[in-house]
Amino acid sequence: MTALDDAPTTTSDPETTRVNEAIDALLAAHDPTTIDNIEFRGHRYDAGLAWVHFAEGDGGLGVRPELNRLVDKRLRAAGAKPTDPSTFFMELAGPTIATHGSPEVKARFLRPMFTGEEKWCQLFSEPGAGSDFAGLGTRAERDGDEWIVNGQKVWNTLAHLADFGMLVTRTDPEAPKHKGMTYFALDMRAEGVEVRPLRQITGEAEFNEVYMTDVRVPDAHRVGDVGEGWRASLTTLMNERNAIGGGGGGAPRRGAAANDAVEVWQAMDASKQTAADKDTLMKWWVQAEVGRLTNMRAAQNAKSGNPGPEMSIAKLAYSELNKGLYEFCMNLLGADALIDYDYTFRRPEDLDVSGTAHGLRYAFLRVRANSIEGGTSEIMRNIVGEQVLGLPGEPRVDKSVPWNEVPRN
Active-site amino acid positions: 240
- DSSP one-letter string for 164-201: EEEEEEES-TTSBTTTSEEEEEEETTSTTEEEEEE--T
Name residues whose C-beta falls within 8 Å of residue 29's C-beta, 6 or more positions apart in sequence.
43
Strands 181-187 and 146-154: unpaired
Dmax (CA) for the chain in angstroms is 74
Across 40-68, b (16+ Cβ under 10 Å) vs e yields: bbbbbbebbbbbbbbeeebbbbebbbbbb
Across 256-274, b (16+ Cβ under 10 Å) vs e yields: bbbebbeebbeeeeeeeee
CA distance 362 to 358: 6
CA distance 154 to 269: 45
CA dist 403 → 125, 214, 394, 406 (Å): 17, 22, 19, 5
- Amino acid 252 reads P
> Which 8-state DSSP code applies to residue 384?
I
Query: Residue 187 pairs with which residues in a beta bridge?
Result: 164
With CA atoms as reference, report the closest residue to 168 among 92, 110, 116, 111: 92
CA distance 74 to 80: 9
CA distance 312 to 314: 5
Across 177-204, b (16+ Cβ under 10 Å) vs e yields: bbbbbbbbbbbbeeeebebebeebebbb
CA distance 253 to 237: 26
| C-alpha 74, offset from chain centre | 23
| C-alpha 278, offset from chain centre | 33
